[in-house]
Amino acid sequence: MAFILGVFDLLAYAIPGSIYLSVFAYASHRAGWIDVPSLLNVPTVLLLLALAVAAFLTGQASSPLGSVVDRLNPFSPADLPGEAKEEFVRRNAAAAPRRFLRSDPFTLLAALEADDSEAAAEVSRLRATGLMLSRSVPPLALGALAGLVEIFTGGLPLFAGLTGLVLALVAAGCLHQSATFARWAIVRTYELSYWNDDERSPDEQR
């Protein structure tokens, strides 16, 4: 379980936090607040440890902003769990009358974690990937904004413009894929719950 939580923390918090730190470090260096190259003189182990802790804390602190992105995501339907359930039932019509479909997906995931930790780990990975993508959108958007500013204030306007455009496109892609992974996680939860369901007929259990 510690390994599962470690992967979840890495994907959902540390990676988005590291992107925030990268944008902050660049903006701070350009503004003259800090001298980023001088940080390389810090012992490597200490620097890496500090960056890892800072990235995790930044990811945790920015988590509410990521939740706002999830709610406002134009690629995510208003009733994502309901649509994911409909997709599962559409492909598995025999499961329609099963009681587990009346349960919340997170409740089903908790049951999977108790019964089959390996199966639950797959769902947790999908959820964590979706969260990583949605929580990476704000810092990527900030990076794109920094690129826009650099067009007028930097010495390489073409490079700055292309960089800002790429970051904006990556942010849009992350927004789309975050909704996709969130749906996959719920569908996979129903699929695994179906195969763990004791109500399946003998023919289905073969």
Sign, Cα dihedral of 106, 69, 80, 172: negative
Tokens of residue 134, six digits:
């949605």
Residues spanned by the domain of 177: 2-205
Q: DSSP string covering 37-74, please? A: GGGGGS-HHHHHHHHHHHHHHHHHHTHHHHHHHHHH-T
Give the pLDDT confidence of 146-164 residue by residue, as tens digits. 999 999 988 899 999 999 9
Number of domains in the chain: 1
Give the pLDDT confidence of 113-137 residue by residue, as tens digits. 888 888 888 999 999 999 999 999 9
Distance CA 94, CA 6 (A): 37
- Cβ contact 194:188 at 8 Å: no
Give the pLDDT confidence of 11-61 residue by residue, as tens digits. 999 999 999 999 999 999 888 888 878 887 888 898 899 999 999 999 999
- Cβ contact 12:62 at 8 Å: no
Long-range pairs for 81-88: beta carbons < 8 A, 24 or more residues apart: 81/105, 81/186, 83/183, 84/183, 84/186, 84/187, 84/190, 85/186, 85/190, 87/183, 87/187, 88/187, 88/190, 88/191, 88/194
- Cβ contact 45:78 at 8 Å: no
pLDDT band at 198 (very low <50, low <70, confident <90, very high): low
Does 38 or 80 have the greater pLDDT score?
80
The whole-model pTM stands at 0.85
